[in-house]
Structure 1
Amino acid sequence: MPVPDAPRAEAFFLQTEPGQRFCLFHPPAGACRGALLYVPPFGEEMNKSRRMAALQARDLAARGFGVLLIDLYGCGDSSGDFGEARWDLWKHDLALGQRWLRERLGVPVSLWGLRLGALLALDFARDAHEPVASLMLWQPVQSGATFLTQFLRLRIANDMLSDDKEKGGGTKALRDQLRAGEALEIAGYELAPAMADAIESLDAAALFVASCPVHWFEAVPADGRPISPAASKVTTAWQAAGAAPQIHLVTCPPFWAAQEVTECAALVAATTAVFAGIAA
């Protein structure tokens, strides 16, 4: 069945406090079948994933779904500096986007989160004032502490290459600096102690959501490969807690970490098919 062209996206700013948030709305073609709010990943992963986010939004819009892409506080073209961002402020931004979408389209809003954005979506959905219709999770981070360690290693790698490198200490020394209240410059992003604390405390196994359908999309390097042991541990914990996540394995490169802009048509198609099935 041929897919109609997606309507032209609408760029605008949502006024809030503090400042404003840049948004890109992909209106649905024809009658609205549902709505999705995109929750982007952290740091440079956000920029590397913009192409995939745009492709997915257009594909959904062409099939009758409205999609809102929002730059969270301190990110992209929104107000604030990255070092001023806070986890709770990002959750406030999601509430803002959710309310805007519901008022614009008149339908319940689902969340679509990528990497650390998947954990933000889960955390938001657990105590959102307005119910979340469903959750679409792309390659969720399983451990905030592990993610933070990997991010801190970017600073260590940069120090090793610089002429004024500081020797020794590793990620423990960087964590000590954060605990002492010192912000760190890492790969062009200022990491505030409060944000580091919030990320460190995240445990995907504890962020289960049983109040709505949850679909976990895991990128695998080849057909027939199973879900990673770490991801399997998380989903098993969710099932034990009463949640019922649906797992979708998609052969897909890690576009969020690729050096060049990378696409994955299989992930776009799988996500659209699942969301269309929920709407039906």
Structure 2
Amino acid sequence: MMNATTSLLPFFLPASDGQRYCLLHLPAPGQAARGGIIYIHPFAEELNKSRHVAAMQARAFAALGYSVLQLDLYGCGDSSGDFGDARWSIWRNDLHLACAWLARRVDGPLTLWGLRLGALLALDVAAHPPLPLARLLLWQPELDGPRVIDRFLRLRLAGRMLGNGGNTEAPGHAREELAAGRAVEVAGYLLAPELARAIDTFDAATVASALRPSVPVYWLEYAHGDAPVLPAPALKLATRWRSEGTPLAIAGFGDGAFWSSAELMACPQLLETTRHLCRDWLDQPEGERDEG
């Protein structure tokens, strides 16, 4: 349930190729502004499965004095365009548009907050100045684009097996179609080869070298049981970023993979861990907050 002192403003943000559906979570009237936060949703169906958790966190941020903008990227959710027409460059422009819009209306620093592929998009946008960012908040970031596409294409194989009495296409066929410049349908989503190629460029090496953030990073990762907070590849990346001077705070949460769950999950541990991990700016006195 929404905090009684906060408010919600749904609207469409005009863009050069249509409109972007937005939800703006606002602090209580008269509450001192502490900054703005732009939320970047994950890929395809993960957007729908995680929207309620993002909304709960957005309301929590608003209750602490932040204006939070939830944006549906082009071709996603209730924004203009079809998913098959989505391109990484359009999504990047969407975020620049959202940041500029929010910066004109909110005092204080801006934060990019991304979930899964949205976190990778946040890293990419932050690596292309001039964007006046104070920090990045990454929830379960995707750090290897080819793995994202491969995992997505496996949904196609599974769906065809279930729908064709156990018969399926040859492994790698969808990759061949994309390489030939043909779009492929995956679980109701039409994946364009241009979008797949763009995501594929962000392999682990590229992310480590080209997307090293110049602002503090707050990173939350799903910890599976007694497993370490970060898997080995992510730990290697975090170690490299720290050695190169990126301020990095990391924590784990154990609620579960809410972005892929068949049922809605409340994720109280994730929200509480986010509050604790980000306490240096969420609990910071007004007179001492950073200015980005």
Q: Shorter-chain TM-score: which interval?
A: over 0.9
- Contact 1:26–1:57 (CA<8 Å) still a contact in 2? yes
Q: Residue 225 of structure 1: CA displacement? A: 4.0
CA, structure 1 residues 6+149, in 2 after alignment: closer, same or farther (shift >3 Å)? farther
Cα drift, residue 80 of structure 1: 0.3
Structural mapping, 1:44-193, within 5 Å: 44-163=45-164, 167-170=168-171, 172-193=172-193
Aligned to 2:261: 258
Measure how far apart 1:254 and its partner are: 0.7
**CA distance in 2: counterparts of 1:78 and 1:168, whole angstroms:** 33
Q: Deviations over 1:67-110 (max 9, x none)?
A: 00000000111000000000010010001111111111122211
Q: Determine the C-alpha separation between the residues in 2 that align with 1:186 and 1:6.
A: 42
- Count the aligned residue pairs: 277
| Shift in CA distance, 165/80, structure 1 to aligned 2, threshold 3 Å | farther
Which residue identity does 1:97 align to in structure 2?
A
Q: Which residue of 2 aligns with 1:7?
A: 6
Moved more, 68-77 or 157-166: 157-166
Q: Residue 199 of structure 2 corresponds to which residue in structure 1?
A: 199
- 259-268 or 229-238, which deviates more: 229-238
* Offset, 1:131: 2.2
User: What is the aligned partner in structure 1 of residue 17 from structure 2?
Assistant: 18
Please tell me whether the aligned partners of residues 140 and 220 of structure 2 are also in contact (alpha carbons under 8 angstroms): yes
Q: Which amino acid aligns with 1:157?
A: A
Question: Structure 1 counterpart of 2:191, which letter?
Answer: L
TM-score by length of 2: 0.89
Tell me by how many angstroms 1:165 deviates: 7.4
1:216 aligns with 2:219: yes
State the match for 1:277 in structure 2.
280
One-letter amino acid of the structure 2 residue matched with residue 111 of structure 1:
L
Offset, 1:162:
2.1
Counterparts of 1:269 and 1:223, CA distance in 2:
19
User: Relative to 1, partners in 2 of residues 1:222 and 1:182: Cα closer, same or farther, differing over 3 Å?
Assistant: same
Q: Is the 8 A contact 1:142 1:234 kept in 2?
A: no
Match of 1:229 among 227, 232, 250: 232
Q: Deviations over 1:176-233 (max 9, x none)?
A: 1001111011011110000000111113323543421111111113367442222212
Structure 2 residue matching 1:134: 3-state secondary structure: strand
Gaps of 5+ in 2: 285-292
Amino acid in the other structure paired with 1:108: P
User: Conserved in 2, the CA contact under 8 Å of 1:73 and 1:89?
Assistant: yes
State the alpha-carbon separation in 1 of the partners of residues 227 and 147 from structure 2.
27
- TM-score (ref. length: structure 1): 0.93
Q: Point out where structure 1 has 5 or more consecutive residues left out of the alignment.
A: none
2:43 aligned residue = 42
Q: Which amino acid letter does the alignment assign opposite residue 199 of structure 2?
A: I
Query: Residue 207 and residue 167 in structure 1: after superposition, are their counterparts in 2 closer, same or farther (change >3 A)?
Result: same
Q: CA deviation at 1:274?
A: 3.7
